[in-house]
């Protein structure tokens, strides 16, 4: 059996780590494709090293720029790899452009797709990640839901011909194993951790400025690891200069995974626009302040552990000062063994059947750099 996995962003790398290990343990061949969507390989090497992920078999080195151009480059390159490698299944993660490109290229060649983190929805239908996730779910034969809400949504949408499996969240698996492996203390510390990367915030000067104003006005110590793309926008908009007097905000370099987990584990609260970081915050019992009006993972809000402020300065400052969750902390996102259930589902669903080569059309392999 051969699995082809497509990754391209930090959350993808994190999820891939335990899947890669479990596939190896079972003697299943994996071909790893890194699109380079957010990081070139040198920049992402720290994630591969820290998480014990082997170097990718292929690195596509896609260009940055408009989503259509980026998606097109990925589609062309992934199609060439699929024709050459003839996998039994393509595994895609989450909701990024790499997810959609991997799913679409595979479906057009009649290669089945398994989608990790299927079924997560928000009401913002034209949000880029929402589009990627909905389209990938339609194209996938195996839908792997990370929480009950996502599982229920997939059932409601009636994905005819697809199998839906509730696995739990692999981000919980790797987070808890990292805390244990490196003996990282989980405490309510004396700082707020901030992460921002969504286009709705970082590409909009008004929104980005309002969030920074909320952080500054809170007077709390804020540690803000800045993604390269976010830093570029801060510089373009003149916001680093505008907020240089806000001495409570510490703008730092991007962090490796282990370093980020240490920061998260020691934070008092978290301000984020990330779907992944809000889950990581919940798992480590950190109150989350959501600086974007998107409703991923309503189970966290129902539990009382997140407040949605959007990019509103006064609401952010108030939440940093006053928001506290209840004492109860329900178990969400599985039992810490989602990676085993995911591989179980893949083996059960795709472990036998016709060779993938029979489903592939012929065509030129083209040139794709193999690392």
Q: Which residues contact 207 (CB under 8 A, 6 or more apart)?
A: 200, 201, 311
Say if residues 367 and 181 touch (Cβ distance below 8 Å): no
Domains of the chain: 2-169+334-359 (3.40.50.2000), 185-322 (3.40.50.2000)
* H or E, element range at 270: strand 269-272
Predicted confidence at residue 259, as pLDDT, reads 96
Predicted confidence at residue 360, as pLDDT, reads 46
| Strand order through the sheet with 58-59 | 58-59, 29-34, 2-7, 89-93, 113-116, 142-145, 163-166
Query: Which pLDDT tens digit goes with each residue over 73-123?
Result: 999 999 999 999 999 999 999 999 999 999 999 999 999 999 999 999 998
> How far is the C-alpha of 84 from the C-alpha of 246, rounded, in Å?
54
Say if residues 208 and 202 touch (Cβ distance below 8 Å): yes
Whole-angstrom CA distances from 172 to 161, 236, 345 are: 29, 36, 18
Predicted confidence at residue 292, as pLDDT, reads 97
| Total Cβ atoms within 10 A of residue 141 | 19
Q: What are phi and psi of 145, to 5 degrees?
A: -90, 140
Say if residues 337 and 313 touch (Cβ distance below 8 Å): no
Say if residues 11 and 169 touch (Cβ distance below 8 Å): no
DSSP state of 340: H
Say if residues 11 and 44 touch (Cβ distance below 8 Å): no
Q: Hey, which residues are catalytic here? A: 197
Q: Is 171 exposed, middle or buried (0-12, 13-18, 19+ CB in 10 A)?
A: buried
Whole-angstrom CA distances from 355 to 1, 87, 112, 161, 345 are: 9, 9, 12, 20, 19
The tens-digit pLDDT sequence of the chain (371 residues) is 999 999 998 889 999 999 999 999 999 999 999 998 876 556 678 888 899 999 999 999 886 778 899 999 999 999 999 999 999 999 999 999 999 999 999 999 999 999 999 999 998 888 999 999 999 999 999 999 999 999 999 999 998 778 999 999 999 999 999 999 999 999 999 999 999 999 999 999 999 999 999 999 999 999 999 988 899 999 999 999 999 999 999 999 999 999 999 999 999 999 999 999 999 999 999 999 999 998 899 999 999 999 999 999 999 999 999 999 999 999 999 999 999 999 999 999 998 544 444 444 433 233 344 43
CA-CA-CA-CA dihedral for 6, 11, 13, 14, to nearest 10: -130
Predicted confidence at residue 271, as pLDDT, reads 99
Q: Which residues of 83-114 are buried (b: 16+ CB within 10 A; e: fewer)?
A: bebbbbbbbbbbbbbbbbbbbbbbbebebbbb
Q: Which residues contact 360 (CB under 8 A, 6 or more apart)?
A: 82, 83, 86, 109, 110, 111
């Amino acid at each position: 059996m051969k699995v082809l996995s497509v990754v391209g962003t930090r959350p993808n790398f994190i999820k891939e780590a335990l899947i890669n290990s479990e596939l190896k343990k079972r003697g299943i061949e994996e071909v790893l494709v890194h699109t380079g969507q957010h990081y070139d390989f040198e920049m992402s090497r720290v994630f591969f090293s820290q998480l014990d992920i082997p170097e990718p078999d292929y690195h596509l080195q896609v260009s940055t720029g408009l989503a259509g151009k980026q998606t097109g480059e990925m589609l062309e390159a992934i199609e060439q790899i699929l024709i050459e490698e003839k996998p039994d299944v393509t595994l895609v993660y989450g909701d990024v452009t790499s997810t959609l490109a991997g799913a679409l290229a595979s479906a057009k060649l009649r290669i089945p797709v398994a989608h990790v983190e299927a079924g997560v929805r928000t009401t913002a239908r034209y949000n880029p990640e929402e589009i990627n996730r909905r389209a990938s779910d339609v194209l996938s034969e195996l839908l792997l839901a990370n929480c009950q809400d996502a599982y229920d949504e997939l059932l409601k949408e009636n994905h005819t011909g697809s199998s839906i499996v509730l696995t739990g969240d692999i981000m919980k698996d790797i987070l808890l194993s990292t805390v244990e492996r490196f003996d990282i203390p989980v405490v309510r510390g004396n700082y707020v951790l901030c992460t921002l990367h969504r286009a709705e915030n970082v590409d909009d000067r008004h929104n980005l400025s309002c969030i920074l104003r909320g952080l500054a006005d809170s007077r709390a110590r804020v540690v803000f690891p800045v993604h390269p793309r976010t830093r570029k926008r801060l510089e373009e908009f003149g916001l680093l200069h505008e907020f240089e007097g806000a001495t409570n905000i510490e703008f730092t370099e991007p962090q490796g995974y282990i370093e980020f987990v240490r920061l998260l584990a020691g934070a008092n609260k978290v301000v984020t626009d990330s779907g992944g970081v809000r889950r990581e915050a919940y798992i480590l019992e950190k109150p989350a302040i959501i600086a974007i009006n998107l409703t991923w993972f309503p189970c966290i809000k129902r539990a009382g552990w997140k407040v949605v402020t959007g990019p509103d300065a006064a609401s952010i400052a108030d939440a940093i000062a006053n928001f506290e969750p209840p004492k109860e902390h329900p178990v969400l996102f599985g039992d810490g063994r989602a990676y085993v259930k995911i591989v179980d589902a893949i083996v059960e669903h795709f472990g036998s059947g016709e060779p993938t080569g029979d489903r592939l059309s012929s065509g030129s392999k083209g040139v794709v750099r193999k690392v």
